[in-house]
């Protein structure tokens, strides 16, 4: 079948969507409200982790006290030894986007936790290899953090991918 539809691409800057319309209220945190983001995903294999970190940044800016719990493969995101050809050097634009977003989150008040079990038993790196400011934790704290969030009535977001 031959092509029957022809159209001209829109020019740069033209809008395809109504980006102004918002259907739901812009909720801000009330004093003391918390959010816990649990991330058990393979970094750098897709966009899930970066999207979770951008969402976490938005939660911080809405006034929530944000705690990010990295466990399983998620701990790889907190490696302070990434870079090429040297540590902290980006081999290409966006190469260190996750590391930079974690640093932004901590600068803006979020707490980032990384599971010691996943770091050592699964991936063979230690606490000294974490991005400065990331807090290592006992693997038993994964459940207790979730229970703490539940008991506080905090917002929770959980991501699992493999």
pLDDT tens per residue across span 60-77: 999 999 999 999 999 999
pLDDT tens digits, residue range 1-57? 999 999 999 999 999 999 999 999 999 999 999 999 999 998 888 899 999 999 999
Query: Does 23 map to a domain?
Result: no
Query: Does 27 map to a domain?
Result: no
Backbone angles phi, psi at 158, to 5 degrees: -125, 130
Domain that holds residue 80: 34-160
Query: Does 65 map to a domain?
Result: yes
Q: Tell me how far apart the alpha carbons of residues 56 and 85 are, in angstroms, rounded to a whole number.
A: 30
Q: Look up tokens 């998620």; give the residue.
A: 74
CATH number, residue 84: 3.40.1260.10
Query: Does 24 map to a domain?
Result: no
This prediction has a pTM of 0.90
> Going edge to edge, which strands form the sheet with 65-70?
135-137, 111-115, 65-70, 34-40, 155-160
Angle, alpha carbons 85-87-91 (nearest 5°): 40
Number of structural domains the chain divides into: 1
Query: Does 151 map to a domain?
Result: yes
pLDDT band, very low/low/confident/very high, at 161 (cuts 50, 70, 90): confident
Sign of CA dihedral 46, 50, 51, 52: positive
Query: Does 5 map to a domain?
Result: no
Query: Does 2 map to a domain?
Result: no
Query: Does 11 map to a domain?
Result: no
Cβ contact 49:43 at 8 Å: yes
């Amino acid at each position: 079948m031959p092509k029957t539809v022809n159209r001209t691409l829109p020019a740069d800057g033209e809008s395809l969507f109504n980006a102004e319309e918002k259907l739901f209220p812009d909720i801000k945190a009330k004093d003391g409200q918390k959010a816990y983001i649990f991330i058990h995903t393979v970094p750098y294999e897709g966009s899930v982790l970066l999207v979770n970190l951008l969402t976490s940044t938005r939660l911080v800016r809405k006034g929530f006290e944000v705690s990010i719990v990295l466990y399983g493969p998620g701990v790889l995101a907190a490696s302070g030894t990434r870079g090429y050809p040297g540590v902290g050097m980006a081999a290409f634009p966006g190469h260190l986007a996750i590391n930079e977003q974690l640093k932004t989150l901590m600068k803006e008040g979020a707490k980032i936790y990384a599971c010691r079990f996943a770091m050592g038993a699964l991936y063979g790196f230690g606490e000294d290899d974490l991005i400065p400011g990331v807090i290592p934790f006992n693997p038993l704290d994964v459940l207790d953090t979730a229970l703490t969030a539940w008991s506080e009535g905090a917002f929770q977001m959980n991501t699992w991918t493999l």
